[in-house]
Amino acid sequence: MAEKTELFLKECYVQDIVKNEGLKKWNELEIGKDLSLKYEEGKVVVKKDANTIGTISNEDAEFIDDLLKMDWSEIFIARVSYKDEKILDSNKRLMVVIYINKKNKAEEVPAE
């Protein structure tokens, strides 16, 4: 069996896509595509390259925001899991699954 490289953390909606660049990048957001998480201006934001797609609710961002504040963004992957432009509530049009990446063996600090 292959070794797991990701651990499921949670699935959540991406909010504020209308206020951010989510609609401009809508056609590039495919199910299964990886996005990144960053902590900016007091929120956990979902990014595609340098573009802010939207935000994660404070409730869903609990625990994640503390790690992002400490610059641990590389341990998270946000993968598009649901997309439906026909939903009237823009805060329910896009979902991501957040995974924790397996730590790279080369980065492990040897025990002293």
Q: Tell me the domain boundaries of the chain.
A: 6-102
Taking residues 88-100, what's their average pLDDT? 95
The per-residue pLDDT for 21 is 85
- Quick one: tokens of 53? 């797609």
Domain at 6-102: CATH code: 3.30.70.2330
- Rounded Cα gap, residues 49 and 51, in angstroms: 6
pLDDT higher than 90, residue 111 = no
How confident is the model over 32-72, as pLDDT tens digits?
999 999 999 999 999 999 999 999 999 999 999 999 999 99
Looking at the predicted structure, is the pLDDT value of residue 105 above 70? no
CA–CA dist 74, 58 (Å, integer)? 20
Its pTM stands at 0.86
In the Cβ-directed half-sphere of 5, how many Cα atoms lie within 13 Å?
Answer: 4
Distance (Å, whole) CA 106 – CA 96: 28
